Amino acid sequence: MTRLLSIVLIGLAAFSCKPAERVLGSKERTDKAYALAESITAERIRPILTALAHDSMKGRNTGSPEEWKAADYLAAWYTRIGATPAGVDGTWFQPFELARANRRWSLQAPTSAPAGADLLKSRNVVAVVEGSDPALRGQYVVVMAHYDHVGIGRADARGDSLHNGADDNASGTTGLMILAETLQQARAAGYGPRRSVLFLHVSAEERGLLGSRYFSDNPTRSIDSTIAAINLDMVGRIDQAHRDRADTNYIYLIGSELVSSHLDSLLRSANNRTGRLSLDPALNDINDPQQIYRRSDHWNFGRLGVPFAFFFSGLHEDYHRPGDESHKIAYEAMALRLRTAYGTVIELANTDKRPTIDNQLFIERAQQGR
């Protein structure tokens, strides 16, 4: 598997990431960056996602050797494309420790963990594509995805007990890698983002959103300088509701207009220029009894007042089951979703005015959820 990961890194998208010296206006910069959205294709996505969800990765369970291998793979990717390390001590990594007592995991150092608790070490992976505008490069658009999954569990009817986690969340992880590479291409050509874009691969989502909680409590770039958070979690399948309607070009959009009208308008503009997806609002309800809007890693930014948008293609019959495998990914649909996400990042990074949360009910709920 190490050889497979190396082949993927060497074989994909050879280009120079050294920024060219060009001065462009904001609109021209944005228009030129948009042109690269067409380069986000199923062919770019497939080998990366397949490597992350390979059997040899054993489901990337939090703290496992295979999850650490995945983190090293991510670091090698960002090194190759010329991004900037944004972890601790000049590395790509932000390590943290977990303890489990009474069947519940929490963020605790071993010295403070209860006697007899299970202990784990894991890492977030953090990279930055640097902004080009001296006045704005100190502000950040955070794009996040969790890269952990649940490892090996109960066997299914086929006798397969390995949970590959292709959709959950090798899809979002691959998405971040592709978006970062594409932004670096724009930067190399002289029309990179005005603001910096921070790519945050969090661990321990499956343990209770703990990696993103750790980062948001111990950010390597300040929360005050974070203008928005985009979360890609399960963006690779077609759920039953949309299969029934023969609708593959969709995404559930959560947050966005529920949180910030400005963010929502930027996202819709980006979608019109890129993926042209149907933006399904069915799960975007602050009174939803399932509370979907706070059930993935973006919530640890939303609770601190950061506007967010969560891209999600919906639950399916293979959720948290061994059947979540790479050959079931809808690669063409996923490419369109990533194009819309890319356009959204471009809009956020280049807009003159940062978006704000303007839904008072959401503000009250967020304050209660801290």
* Tens digits of residue pLDDT in 200-246: 999 999 999 999 999 999 999 999 999 999 999 999 999 999 999 99
Neighbours of 316 (CB within 10 A): 19
Domain parsing of the chain, residue ranges: 24-39+80-148+177-314+338-368
At residue 95, φ and ψ (nearest 5 deg) are -75, 150
Q: What is the pLDDT of residue 2?
A: 54
Q: Is the pLDDT of residue 130 over 90?
A: yes
Q: Is the pLDDT of residue 64 over 50?
A: yes
The string of pLDDT tens digits covering residues 156-177 is 889 899 999 999 999 999 999 9
**Ordered alpha helix ranges (H), the chain:** 2-11, 26-34, 42-52, 65-81, 172-188, 210-217, 240-244, 261-273, 299-302, 331-350, 360-368
The string of pLDDT tens digits covering residues 275-324 is 999 999 999 998 888 888 889 999 999 999 999 999 999 999 999 999 99
Q: Which residue has the higher pLDDT, 179 or 25?
A: 179
Q: Is the pLDDT of residue 87 over 60?
A: yes
Reported as a pLDDT band with limits 50, 70 and 90, residue 14 is very low
Reported as a pLDDT band with limits 50, 70 and 90, residue 8 is low
Cβ within 8 Å of residue 200, ≥6 positions away:
124, 125, 126, 142, 143, 144, 145, 212, 215
Q: Per the confidence metrics, is the pTM higher than 0.85?
A: yes
Reported as a pLDDT band with limits 50, 70 and 90, residue 27 is confident
Q: Is the pLDDT of residue 21 over 50?
A: no
Angstrom distance (rounded) from CA 268 to CA 266: 6
Reported as a pLDDT band with limits 50, 70 and 90, residue 19 is very low
Q: Is the pLDDT of residue 12 over 80?
A: no
User: Per CATH, which fold does 24-39+80-148+177-314+338-368 belong to?
Assistant: Aminopeptidase (3.40.630)
